[in-house]
Structure 1
Amino acid sequence: MARVLLFGPLRDLAGWRERDIDDARCVSALKARLAEEDERLGEALCGPGVKVAIDQAIVNGDAAIGPRAEVAFLPPMSGG
């Protein structure tokens, strides 16, 4: 079971910050599952600049998710 965290506007869009999700074996499968539940969230997770961190390390592409992993979706950052 993976612990999924959403931050910033992603959290606001979904209406939750943290959830436990079963059978999340890779990032693409997790995004697909979340999109099935909430189409707008699914679109946002695939948007430009959204980063994914597994166990507090940024990953690229369709990374594997281990059992009891923490998966965080991070919105695009802005600064100046």
Structure 2
Amino acid sequence: MIKVLFFASYREKLGIDRLELTEMPTNLSALRDLLCEKGQDWQEVVKDPSTLVALNQTMTRKDFEIKEGDEIAFFPPVTGG
């Protein structure tokens, strides 16, 4: 199983803060494809090039392999003031 977390406006847009998936995508690209099957809002969140992604609480911009027990988090772009 893997955990997929959604933060801030993504959590609000999708109406969910986490998913636990038993279906194991092989990498981030496959996970994005799987989540896109859930509908338009999901596509907008996971396919947005400005979306930030963390693997096991480490931010990354690379595609990565997913393993049992991993935690993947999606964050909207951050702005500061």
TM-score, scaled relative to structure 2: 0.88
| 1:58 Cα deviation after fit | 1.1
Other-structure match for 1:19 = 19
Aligned partner of 1:67: which letter? E
State the superposition RMSD in angstroms: 1.2
Deviations 1:20-76 (CA, angstroms, capped at 9, x unpaired): 012122111111111101222122222132111010011223211111100000110
Runs of 5+ in structure 2 lacking a partner? none
Runs of 5+ in structure 1 lacking a partner? none
Other-structure match for 1:55 = 56
Aligned partner of 2:64: which letter? A
Take 2:40 and 2:64, find their aligned partners in 1: how far apart are those partners? 22
Contact 1:5 1:17 in 2 (8 A): yes
Take 1:45 and 1:39, find their aligned partners in 2: how far apart are those partners? 10
Report 1:3-18 matches (<5 A): 3-18=3-18
TM-score, scaled relative to structure 1: 0.89
Query: How many residues matched?
Result: 80
- The question of 1:44 aligning with 2:8 is answered no
Work out the percentage of aligned pairs sharing the same amino acid: 31
Aligned partner of 2:13: which letter? L
Take 1:32 and 1:39, find their aligned partners in 2: how far apart are those partners? 12
Structure 1 moving runs of 4+ over 4 Å? none
Take 1:33 and 1:66, find their aligned partners in 2: how far apart are those partners? 16
Aligned partner of 1:7: which letter? F
